[in-house]
Amino acid sequence: MRALLVVNPQATATTPGGRDVLAHALASEVKLDVVETDYRGHAADAAAGAVVDGYDLVVAHGGDGTVNEVVNGVLRGGARPGLPLLGVVPGGSANVFAGALGLPRDPVEATYRLLQAIEHGTSRRVSLGKVASSGGELDHDRWFTFNAGVGWDADVVAEVEHQRARGLQASPGLYARTALAGYFTQRRQPASLTVQVPDEPPFEDVRLAFVSNTDPWTYLGDKAIRLNPSTSFDGGLGLFALHGMGLPTVLRYVAHLLATDGNPRGANLLRRDDVEYVRVTTREPVNLQVDGDLLGECTEVEFTGVPGALTVAV
C-alpha cells in the first residue's frame, strides 16, 4: 500500500517529535511519503497529486482545516470510485471531524487506530457537504466535512483567523470572547437571509443559518455542541437557523446547548434534519465559513449533501 502523509507543522497540537513517531509508525506498515505544508492550499494540492499518482491512502495530520484541504484535494475531480482512502490523525484544537467519526482526538491513540484500520482493512463511507457560492468575493465550490455557515459563526471564524495571524493561539476562550463580541455586532447590523429547503416555501428574514453534515456541530473544549443531533455521516444535511437574535433568545439557546445533549426547540428556531440541500440568499454580502475555514463574502450559497462521497479508514 502506498500512502501519503500530509502534515501541517503549524497545527496547534502537532510537535516535531509526534510527527516523527507518526511517520515511523506508518512507514512500518506502508510505503510512505511525507509532505509538510508551507502555504494555504498546499494540503489540497498534495492530496490531488496523490490521486493522480495512484496512492492508496492519504493521511491528514493537523486540524480540521488540514483535513478539509486534504478532502478537497482528493475530491478535486469529483466523488468517484477508485479514490484513495482518507486517514485522519488529529493535530488541531477542535478536531471535530475525527470526533464525529468516533476516532480518538489524541494523536498517539489515533495513530494506533489508523494502524489497526490499515492492518484489518476497516473503513466506512461518509457523506459530505458541498458548497456552491456566488456574489461578493466568491464564485466557486468547496466540500465540507462537518459544518458550514453564514453570518455570525463565519464572522467569528474571520476574527479568530485575524487574531491567530497576530500570534494568538486558537482556544475555546478565544472563540467564546470573539463570539460574544460578534453577537453585539450582529445586533447592530443584523443579517437578513432568505433560507430555502426542499418542498417548503422560502423562510424570510432569517438572522443566521448553520448547516451540519454530522453531529456534533463543534466542540467547546471537551463539550460537544449539538445543534442537530439526528444528523450523521449516513444521511443528509441538518439546518439550524434563527429568526431572531434578541438577547433572551440567544441566551436561552446557548444555555440549552451547553447544559444538555442538544435537540433544541423554540418559536424563533428553524431546524431541519436530513435535507438534500439548503439554499441561502441575501441582498448584502455575508461571510461564509466551511469546517472553520473562512471562504469570504457571498450573496448566494447552496449547501448540498452528497451521500457516500468518500471512504475513511476507521
Residue 139 has pLDDT above 60, yes or no: no
DSSP state of 235: S
Q: What is the pLDDT of residue 212?
A: 97
Q: What is the pLDDT of residue 136?
A: 66
**Helix-strand-coil split of the chain, %, nearest 5:** 30, 35, 35
Dihedral sign for Cα 169, 175, 178, 180, please: negative
Q: What is the pLDDT of residue 93?
A: 81
Q: Whole-model pTM? A: 0.91
With pLDDT > 70 as the criterion, what percentage of the chain qualifies? 96
Which domains occur in the chain, in start order? 2-121 (3.40.50.10330), 128-308 (2.60.200.40)
Rounded to whole angstroms, how far apart are CA atoms 121 and 313?
8
Residue 116 has pLDDT above 70, yes or no: yes
Q: How confident is the model at residue 137 (pLDDT cuts 50, 70, 90)?
A: low
Q: What is the pLDDT of residues 218-258, one digit of tens each?
A: 988 888 999 999 999 999 999 999 998 888 888 888 888 88
Q: Which residues of 53-76 are buried (b: 16+ CB within 10 A; e: fewer)?
A: eebebbbbbbbbbbbbbbbbbbbe
Q: What is the pLDDT of residue 138?
A: 58
Spatial CA neighbour of 221 closest among 89, 107, 94? 94
**Length of the chain as a residue count:** 314
Region 124-151: what's the mean pLDDT? 88
With pLDDT > 90 as the criterion, what percentage of the chain qualifies? 65
What are the residues whose beta carbons fall under 8 Å from the beta carbon of 290, sequence distance 6 or more?
A: 68, 129, 131, 142, 143, 144, 147, 148
Q: What is the pLDDT of residues 156-212, one digit of tens each?
A: 888 877 777 777 776 667 777 777 777 777 666 778 999 999 999 999 999 999 999
What are the residues whose beta carbons fall under 8 Å from the beta carbon of 162, sequence distance 6 or more?
A: none
Looking at per-residue pLDDT, the higher value among 56 and 267 belongs to 56
User: Which residue is associated with the grid cell 426542499?
Assistant: 198
